[in-house]
Amino acid sequence: MGKQLVFGFVAAAILGTAVACVTSPETGRSQLNLVSDSQMNSMGEQAYQEMLAKSKISKNPALNAAVADIGRRIAQASGVDYEWEFTVIDDPKTINAFCLPGGKVAVYTGIIPVAKNNAALAAVIGHEVAHATLRHSAERVSQQMVMQMGMTMASLTFSDSKYKNTIAGLLGIGAQFGVALPFSRYHESEADRVGLEYMAKAGFDPREAIGLWERMGSQSGSRPPEILSTHPDPIRRAKALNQHMPEALQIYQNSPLRSATKSF
């Protein structure tokens, strides 16, 4: 394949990604989006049902009610009209929660002792809800599509070089550590900040988010260097949230939904 044709593909790809950039109403940040909401939501629903089919769903009525109530309030605070679902998965060894496109949220029971109270759990759910409203999944899928396209084009461009395998490998490493992992960490930090606003608007004390991440830091054990991780260091997350605390506390003080922090 001629290099002129390859460069034509590159130009078309650059033009296509520029056209596919949208502005997030939550943050004002420009985002790459090559897939529709309906596509992502359909994928999220399918993945959610598959995940639940393989998991043990909690039968604890009090915990289910608490997660459903916190989730409902956070979802309302987000102002995004998804078909929200909140499920508790009975897995005490997993300290985690997740949200799939379209508002499908699951909380593992392993995170409950770390959260300790409803406000800290609201920080967890607020973070996951923010991933959905900020359309991070669509952005990551789009990013992977562009990275894959770029590496394919580079492989074609250097197809006559005896170093083509080395070049392709270096491009893959560069994309992973130079783009994918830092961008993933950025998504986590962005969801932390927006989730903090959601929990405050929903009437949960945002200061509990600091203690949550400090406790998460003590639970994380031996972590890889942050440059090799998809998530920021928990202690750094707590410090970063402290910087946004004045604004979050103002939102909390003005919320008509303010409620007492209750321990589990």
128 is catalytic: yes
Tokens representing residue 154 in the block: 């580079």
What is the C-alpha separation between 82 and 241, in angstroms, rounded?
26
What distance lies between CA 2 and its chain's CA centroid? 40
DSSP class of residue 107? E
What is the C-alpha separation between 42 and 79, in angstroms, rounded?
21
What is the C-alpha separation between 125 and 192, in angstroms, rounded?
10
- Kindly tell me the burial class for residue 157, based on how many C-beta atoms sit within 10 Å of its own C-beta (0-12, 13-18, 19 or more): middle
C-alpha dihedral (236, 196, 207, 212), degrees to nearest 10: -50
Catalytic residue selected from 128, 139, 188, 197: 128
* Other C-beta atoms lying within 10 Å of the C-beta of residue 254: 10
Residue with tokens 């410090």: 239
Q: Measured at the alpha carbon of residue 35, what is the angle toward residues 30 and 40, in degrees to the nearest 5?
A: 110
What is the C-alpha separation between 220 and 238, in angstroms, rounded?
14
What is the C-alpha separation between 16 and 34, in angstroms, rounded?
9
DSSP helix/strand/coil, 119:
helix
* Other C-beta atoms lying within 10 Å of the C-beta of residue 102: 21
Residue 263 dihedral angles phi and psi, to the nearest 5°:
-80, 155
State the catalytic residues: 128
